[in-house]
Amino acid sequence: DARVTQTPRDKVTEMGQEVTMRCQPILGHNTVFWYRQTMMQGLELLAYFRNRAPLDDSGMPKDRFSAEMPDATLATLKIQPSEPRDSAVYFCASARGSGQPQHFGDGTRLSIL
């Protein structure tokens, strides 16, 4: 079965450091999503891309977060500088199109000390 691949699985770093999370969407999927899961907020959408173009990043704190798709096989989510409140599990998902179910990766568990 094709899967969305996320790296790293776990990341622990100190406040103020830059964090980069990577996602390889399923081949042929043209829509990529970034979600954050916390105990308080549940699963919330941060940003999504279609055909590598950003469509909606209204859920993302713009001052420190940035999301890009350098090519069709790689999506990145960066936090600079990181803060303890950014600690969460970050999921990437991809879909074949806007009306298709999203397939999730296993997430990056981020801890900012």
Partner 1 sequence: DQQVKQNSPSLSVQEGRISILNCDYTNSMFDYFLWYKKYPAEGPTFLISISSIKDKNEDGRFTVFLNKSAKHLSLHIVPSQPGDSAVYFCAAKRNQGGKLIFGQGTELSVKP
Task: State which residue, 15 or 55, has the beta carbon closest to partner 1.
Answer: 55
CA atoms within 13 A on the CB side of 33: 19
HEC profile of 58-106: CCCCCCCEEEEEEECCEEEEEECCCCHHHCEEEEEEEECCCCCCCEECC
Tokens 């500088």 correspond to what residue?
Answer: 81
Kindly state whether residue 48 participates in binding partner 1, applying the rule CB under 8 A: yes
Nearest partner of 65 among 35, 38, 39, judged by Cα: 35
Task: State which residue, 81 or 102, has the beta carbon closest to partner 1.
Answer: 102
Q: Give the chain's end-to-end CA distance (angstroms, integer).
A: 36
Kindly state whether residue 103 participates in binding partner 1, applying the rule CB under 8 A: yes
Kindly state whether residue 2 participates in binding partner 1, applying the rule CB under 8 A: no
Task: State which residue, 4 or 75, has the beta carbon closest to partner 1.
Answer: 4
How many residues at the interface with partner 1, by CB under 8 A?
23
Task: State which residue, 98 or 111, has the beta carbon closest to partner 1.
Answer: 98
Kindly state whether residue 28 participates in binding partner 1, applying the rule CB under 8 A: no
Residues that bind partner 1 (CB under 8 A): 4, 31, 33, 42-45, 48, 50, 55-56, 91, 93, 95, 98-99, 101-107
